[in-house]
Amino acid sequence: MNILVVGGAGYIGSHMVQWLDREGCQVTTLDNLCSGHREAVLAGRFVQGDIADSGLLSSLFASTRFDAVMHFASFIQVGESVAQPGMYYRNNVAHTLNLLEAMRAADVRRFIFSSTAATFGEPVYTPIDEAHPQRPINPYGRSKWMVEQMLTDMDTAWGLKSVSLRYFNAAGADPSGRLGERHDPETHLIPLVLQAARGRRPHISVFGRDYDTPDGTCVRDYIHIEDLCQAHWLALQHLMQEGASDAFNLGNGTGFSVQQVIDTAQRVTGRSIPVVNAPRRAGDPAVLVADGRRARENLGWVPAYPDLQTIIAHAWAWEQGRA
Ligand code: UFG
């Protein structure tokens, strides 16, 4: 199979490129390197460029007959999206539309989309299944939700078959230690906690201890990056077998609090991690836990690393290997 991975130099995309290569696919990564890393692309062909560039897209699609496109490239920071919504709608929505139109012109009709739990907004019930209302509460979530809507319309109009995968909290690292999480700036809890364990940051700030949760800190559903890759791989099989367009929530169905993450990280690393209490971060729901049963039942997805300790251990091995 010939697969185009857009955003293949980023955290999740780079793990996917490695997975596809291991499975024997011909992989092309397209990434503008605005946040990705060239050296994280461990296999296949690399093209530096932007999905905003229609000329580049048409020559790419003319030169290679892709069986499917996986789209990981987007801006991902909720707070930034509130401050600069135009940037999020342009990059995450308009540029994705450009990509989809290039696919239509080239008659490429299989698409796997990185969506997010943020499309649901404030949970009405938990765990969150696919029937849960989608009422995003920030431009980041809305931008992903808009693309989900576009995908449905494009299926109706020209038969685009897509799978939207709504990640809860992507975490962990390649078990062989070759890849991991490297955002700049880093905003995610687990890498920040591990950087504090390593002494690269003075402490970890806990954003709010007064939530309606067992220990007062926010609860999230952390899902190993390799398990996300497995879900993409299964979604690709589904589309290759002429499966219908669909959307799945990806999480383990178990929530861990910020404090539990810190406690687990202390056990895994054997270090004591300085903690500072900080105010709530705007827009953080108290609890976000996925009901991932549909992906298990319909795609045959079985997460291999559901255990938080393993997720953190893999992230720690990666963190320690970093300069
Ligand atoms: N947190 C802290 N201190 C920090 C960083 C995070 O206490 O220094 C807390 C947050 O308040 C939150 C939890 O740790 O309760 C997890 O925060 P992350 O930033 O790691 O992840 P989020 O749950 O905010 O974000 C994830 C995805 C986003 C997506 C969002 C949907 O990473 O891309 O879920 O709500 F938008």
**Ligand 1 centroid distance, CA of 194 (Å):** 15
pTM of the prediction?
Answer: 0.97
Question: Mean pLDDT for the chain?
Answer: 97
Of 82, 195, 258, 261, which is best to mutate to test ligand 1, by the most ligand atoms within 8 angstroms of its C-beta? 258
CA–CA gap between residue 188 and residue 142 (Å, rounded)? 20
In Å, how far are 139, 213, 237, 309, 318 from 256, measured between CA atoms? Answer: 26, 10, 31, 11, 21
Over 80: is that where the pLDDT of 323 sits? no
Over 80: is that where the pLDDT of 209 sits? yes
CA–CA gap between residue 314 and residue 308 (Å, rounded)? 10
Q: Which residue, by CA, sits nearest to atom 30 of ligand 1?
A: 118
Q: How confident is the model at residue 183 (pLDDT cuts 50, 70, 90)?
A: confident
Q: Tell me what percent of the residues of the chain surpass a pLDDT of 90.
A: 97
Q: What is the pLDDT of residues 56-91, one digit of tens each?
A: 999 999 999 999 999 999 999 998 999 999 999 999
Q: What is the pLDDT of residues 244-258, one digit of tens each?
A: 999 999 999 999 999
- Give the residue carrying structure tokens 């209490």: 277
Q: How confident is the model at residue 41 (pLDDT cuts 50, 70, 90)?
A: very high
Q: Which residue, by CA, sits nearest to atom 14 of ligand 1?
A: 189
Q: Name the CATH topology of 2-170+223-250.
A: Rossmann fold (3.40.50)
Q: What is the pLDDT of residues 108-144, one digit of tens each?
A: 999 999 999 999 999 999 999 999 999 999 999 999 9
Q: What is the pLDDT of residues 95-109, one digit of tens each?
A: 999 999 999 999 999
Residue 47 has what pLDDT? 98
Please calculate the CA angle 122-124-128 and round it to the nearest 5 degrees: 90
Residue 304 has what pLDDT? 98
Q: Which residue, by CA, sits nearest to atom 21 of ligand 1?
A: 188
Catalytic residue among 11, 89, 125, 140: 140
Report domain extents, the chain. Answer: 2-170+223-250, 172-221+253-320
CATH of domain 172-221+253-320: 3.90.25.10
Residue 61 has what pLDDT? 98
Of 169, 192, 250, which is best to mutate to test ligand 1, by the most ligand atoms within 8 angstroms of its C-beta? 169
Q: How confident is the model at residue 322 (pLDDT cuts 50, 70, 90)?
A: confident
Residue 17 has what pLDDT? 98
Q: Which residue, by CA, sits nearest to atom 24 of ligand 1?
A: 284
**Ligand 1 centroid distance, CA of 188 (Å):** 6
The answer to whether residue 89 is catalytic is no
